[in-house]
A and B are shown apart, each in its own frame.
Chain A
Amino acid sequence: MRRNHQIPLGAIVKGLALTAGHFFRNMRIHVAHLFGRRLQEKGMVTFQYPEERRPFSPRLRTRHRLTMRADGSPRCVACMMCETICPANCIYITAGEHPDPHIEKQPLKFDIDLGVCVFCGFCVEVCPEDAIRMDTGILEFAAYSRQEMILTMDKLLMKEGAQEPDRALMKENA
Chain B
Amino acid sequence: MTEIVITMGKIAFVLFCVFNLLYVLLWLERKQSAVMQDRIGANRADIFGLRAWGLFHPIADAIKMICKEDFMPAAADKFVYTAAPFLAVFFSLVGFAVIPFGDTLTLGGHTIHLQIADLNVGLLYVFAMLSLGVYGFILAGWASNNNFAFLGGMRAGSQMISYEITMGATVMGLVILFQTLSLNQMVQAQGEYFFGFIPKWGVLLQPLGFLLFLIAGIAETKRIPFDLPEGESEIIGYFVEYSGMKFGMFMMTDFIETILLSAMLTTLFFGGWQIPYLHADGFHLGGLRLAINPVLVSFLQVAAFGLKVFCFCWLLLLIRWTLPRFRYDQLMALGWKFMLPLSLLNLAITGLVVLL
Interface residues of A (CB under 8 A from B): 1, 4-7, 12, 15-16, 18-20, 22-23, 26-27, 30, 43-46, 48
Docked complex: B307-356 residues within 8 A CB-CB of A? 318-319, 321-323, 326, 329-330, 333-334, 337-338
Q: Give 20 A-B contacts (CB < 8 Å), ordered by A residue.
A: A5-B330, A5-B333, A5-B337, A7-B334, A12-B322, A12-B323, A15-B323, A16-B323, A19-B36, A19-B318, A22-B37, A23-B36, A23-B318, A26-B35, A26-B38, A43-B35, A43-B38, A44-B35, A44-B40, A45-B38
Besides the known contacts A7-B330, A20-B318, A23-B32, 12 further A-B residue pairs in the complex with CB atoms under 8 A apart: A5-B329, A5-B333, A7-B333, A12-B323, A19-B321, A26-B35, A26-B38, A44-B34, A44-B35, A44-B39, A45-B38, A46-B39
CB-based contact B40/A16 at 8 Å = no
Chain B residues with CB under 8 Å of A44's CB are 34-35, 38-40
The dominant DSSP class at the B interface is helix
Chain A residues with CB under 8 Å of B329's CB are 5
Interface residues of B (CB under 8 A from A): 32, 34-40, 318-319, 321-323, 326, 329-330, 333-334, 337-338
CB-based contact A15/B35 at 8 Å = no
CB-based contact A19/B39 at 8 Å = no
Quick one: given A5-B329, A5-B333, A16-B318, are A22 and B338 in contact (CB under 8 Å)?
no
Determine the distance from Cα of A18 to Cα of B323 in the docked complex, in whole angstroms.
11
CB-based contact A7/B338 at 8 Å = yes
* Shortest Cβ distance from A21 into B: residue: B36
* Shortest Cβ distance from A17 into B: residue: B322
CB-based contact A7/B326 at 8 Å = yes
The 7 closest A-B pairs by CB, nearest first: A5-B333, A19-B322, A46-B40, A26-B35, A23-B36, A19-B36, A15-B322
